Chains A and B, each alone.
Chain A
């Protein structure tokens, strides 16, 4: 027997990094939104490393922010350390990473959600979905509350039939000993979902007082921290450093000697783990010649002594973890506070989703985050945001949003998932993006503010600020294209200083900026803009001019891609009725049901001939449809 607990536009199951963005975005679009979570004290909890951002991921945080999301604002308010990575490289790969204060992050996130209009937070364990005529219309909790909604988003992360494993100990559990979500997983199976078993892991945490930092290398934050959110105006000045140490041959011997006890190697773990986040056992076995591996000691917050031992993810028994830790320089006396563990969980095969993250076979139902086979807080946040936007669109009959591969890393991520699927927990890498020069950290606002504003995700005030910035950038670019500079002694002195070849004839300022040795700041000395420009404007001007050639080349490629991307495949097309497409390709097409010819061409097993045939078939206009 259930009771009617209320009616909503959108229900979000879960309040992890996907759930919070989903709920926030849906509420911001004006949907009456309910967010259900197992434990209200664990909203946006970080069960793994205490950090946000990094290459590719950091850009996702910026994108989330440009679309009105929370992650950037919350980390900007709570970080203990901020670093810009890859500063020595090109602008396309610069990336911001913050060390998080885990408890503070939770608090700040919860507070913001509590104060978000249209959003209700409630603690509950969802056991079932309400499905009417094949459409998802609500959820039922273990306390028999029935909530009704037009759209439901599942963001249950690694909780689904979660199982924690330490050595030969194994028990049903979500991350950090929270309750696992068993009934829901079984229910999804009953509904015909294809699930796979994935695995991930986490290292032990030690008490800071028991670490001898004098034997480790300090890793401080930046003197002038940058920020994720375009709204952040103030930085945090007293940053806390991380520390670097290494494993050694003794550590490796301990691991070798006890390998049989590792759940990973004893056969207890059946799930597929990610290659990019290997356990220490894996590293030692697969790269046996490596004499040492890096270990980063990362504080979990300001007001806690727990330190995360990054690089030592393991499923070895607790006593081996002790030995292992103590073999490491600086950790000889370290006390483990929590043991590391591996966790196995069910995830949804993501090719079952449309690019909107709606489940193909159950209209009204969406899944986002780690449940879709990804890993990482940022990947989860990006998906949550998109699911929230689209679930609200369905509920309110507003426009949906699909980002393409040239618009955002989020687009790359979701396209990869729903088109190719993944056979290991999926992590974003810059190399997954074909157009990474266009998907920069610095231009997320340029790429997405327009959309964010249109969908009601960012305020008019912020949008107007963005327009101002854009205008300033354009004006300054025009100025640099117009103004020329003549060779002079003063100029020669300046070019000599930076090791650039001297000018022979009058040169446009823009052409000067294109020279690798010459920075925009030099131009400022030679011929300043009429009004002092904000630093982010200068940055844009410099990047856009300096790398113009490469950017144009990328743009041309994008144009070509978009032609195919805009060739829509009619809904319900019957691939069996198309002669000539190879059988394997047909099966794949039937499964993925691509929306466009472009998407079809990215499915593995669909070759160029199949794509050509599909094009011809669509062009003739007489499309056979399935029943």
Chain B
């Protein structure tokens, strides 16, 4: 990864921090910036417009020939730009999903996703810079990269990374097998890897990656906003909270405890903060099998959440389960809601304040829609004070993942083409190794030596 093409290719990224304002900008910089943008822009021919002009038009997805979005595009030609390269900025109004779509289109058309701080880095590298400016850039790179790393690591314990590790291991064994055939041609313990076996292996991996990309399209991997889980005992008003925040009746609300069995997801923008709200089944000890599965999944949701809204009932005493819940979310970002304040107080608020350990506590009555303002303010405050770290970084790293998955798939395609064309296995293997490396970039493991380790642990090699 370290050896990127040096400062000549065209890069793209989202340049407005998510959550700040309604307009998002996708910025491209590099020799190809204008031609790339022109490929999916319908309006004036951007390659012919004057420098430093703004144009209204539509973004088309050329692969499906569909209008994606209405946008304003600014074209700025080198050298009088921020980076001293050709720069295009695409302003769009849509939410996160459409910015994402724009960025993806730019990447599809040949731009490369910018690394953290790369626009600024280019700006300085292309201009004449002095030490103090350089220091500022270096700080920026450090900070951004570290944040990106944190996010990447955060996503490492997820299912995704486990799956990718498994795929990598499968590829690694295949590659090691071929390597043994090459480096130890007389070693009789392994058969020569055949095209058929190799094809079988690569097909498996190919399918898995395709499935991942499919899921990404449906937004299952791509986290479009801050994952926010609503948890609490049954019947405290979790589904009511979800409905109140989205201003719609999305979740079923009844007075029967245990109504919500499965997980319900909704996207909502709270004062500029994008949330992916997840309503969960009430957590309690239960014998009902269906509900039990729901509870299991709720615990899983907790693990993958950035923010937790823990709901308590004003009208009931704190129970053992409530205390358990406090424990469960101890180290996480939490806002506590004490709901149903229209009813008589039975809860011990002092005890609650003790248990929350400094996290905000909001009292609400969702039936009367009171306290929602305070809740929204609390969410925005947590986000903008920097206590929450997902925002653009989580998002960017996801786009990065998808990009890498696509490249991995392309490399596998080439490998399979090679096999079909009956190319020698050691050539085909170049593309398989490349796939392995690309998947490695997703999980942050790019060290080639592990191939050699695999070789010697898998086989007993002598001559």
Query: Interface on A for B, CB 8 Å cutoff?
Result: 55-56, 85-86, 88-93, 95, 275-278, 283, 286-287, 290, 293-294, 296, 310-311, 429-432, 434, 436-437, 516-517, 547, 550, 553-554, 560-561, 563-564, 567, 578-580, 598, 601-602, 604, 606-609, 611-613, 615-617, 619-620, 622
Contacts and interface: CB of A to CB of B under 8 A. Distances in A.
A429 B447 CA distance: 16
Contacts of B129: 616, 619-620
A95 B423 CA distance: 18
Given A93-B182, A437-B430, A564-B3, A613 B124 contact: no
Contacts of A611: 2
Nearest to A620: B134
Contacts of B116: 609
Contacts of A293: 460, 462
Closest 5 A/B residue pairs (Cβ): A90-B424, A601-B2, A609-B145, A620-B134, A580-B138
A580 B141 contact: yes
Given A294-B187, A311-B462, A613 B138 contact: yes
Contact of A294 (B1, B186, B192, B422): B186
Contacts of A437: 427, 430
Given A86-B185, A88-B192, A564-B6, 8 more contacts: A90-B425, A429-B452, A434-B448, A516-B423, A550-B427, A607-B145, A608-B4, A616-B129
Contacts of A91: 424
Interface string B113-125: 0011100010011
Interface of B: 1-6, 115-117, 121, 124-125, 129-131, 133-135, 137-139, 141-142, 145-146, 179, 181-189, 192, 421-427, 430, 447-448, 451-452, 455-456, 460-463
A171 to B, nearest CB: 27
Given A560-B5, A580-B139, A92 B427 contact: yes
Specify which of A429, A431, A436, A622 lies most central, judged by the most chain B CB atoms within 10 Å of its CB: A431
A275 B134 CA distance: 46
A55 B185 contact: yes
A567 B125 CA distance: 13
Nearest to B428: A90
B430 to A, nearest CB: 7
Contacts of A516: 421-423
A429 B181 CA distance: 12
A563 B131 CA distance: 23
Given A612-B115, A622-B131, A275 B456 contact: yes
A612 B426 contact: no
Contact of A609 (B6, B146, B462): B146
Contacts of B124: 616, 619-620
B3 A578 contact: no
A583 to B, nearest CB: 12
Contacts of B4: 560, 608
Nearest to B423: A516
Contacts of A598: 3
B347 to A, nearest CB: 49
Contacts of A276: 456, 461
A511 to B, nearest CB: 13
A492 to B, nearest CB: 20
Given A516-B422, A550-B430, A560-B5, A620 B463 contact: no
B3 A616 contact: no
B141 A90 contact: no
Nearest to B6: A563
A579 B141 CA distance: 11
A516 B145 CA distance: 46
A578 B138 contact: yes
B5 A620 contact: no
A384 to B, nearest CB: 23
A602 to B, nearest CB: 8
Contact of A430 (B182, B421, B424): B182
Contacts of B424: 89-92
A612 B422 CA distance: 41
Nearest to B462: A311
Given A90-B426, A604-B447, A617 B182 contact: no
A437 B434 CA distance: 14
Nearest to B134: A620
Contacts of B146: 609
Given A290-B460, A296-B463, A432-B452, A616 B425 contact: no
Contacts of B422: 516-517
Nearest to A424: B456
Contacts of B447: 604
B3 A278 contact: no
Given A607-B2, A608-B1, A613 B460 contact: no
A578 B181 CA distance: 46
B29 to A, nearest CB: 16
B131 A620 contact: yes
Specify which of A275, A554, A563, A619 lies most central, judged by the most chain B CB atoms within 10 Å of its CB: A619
B121 A616 contact: yes
Contact of B181 (A89, A294, A579, A613): A89
B3 A580 contact: no
Nearest to B131: A622
A277 B463 CA distance: 7
Contacts of B183: 55-56, 429-431
A579 B424 CA distance: 49
Contacts of B427: 90, 92, 437, 547, 550
Specify which of B117, B139, B423, B426 lies most central, judged by the most chain A CB atoms within 10 Å of its CB: B426
A93 B186 contact: no
A617 B141 CA distance: 12
A367 B224 CA distance: 57
A420 to B, nearest CB: 8
B179 A431 contact: yes
Contacts of A310: 462-463
Contact of B3 (A85, A88, A601): A601
Contact of A86 (B182, B423, B448, B456): B182
Specify which of B115, B423, B424, B455 lies most central, judged by the most chain A CB atoms within 10 Å of its CB: B424
18 contacts: A85-B186, A89-B182, A89-B425, A92-B427, A275-B461, A278-B461, A283-B460, A294-B186, A294-B187, A294-B462, A516-B423, A550-B430, A554-B430, A563-B6, A567-B6, A608-B4, A609-B146, A616-B124
A615 B129 CA distance: 12
Nearest to B422: A516
A617 B134 contact: yes
A193 B460 CA distance: 34
A55 B179 CA distance: 10
Specify which of B2, B121, B187, B463 lies most central, judged by the most chain A CB atoms within 10 Å of its CB: B2
A85 B2 contact: no
Contacts of B138: 578-580, 613, 616-617
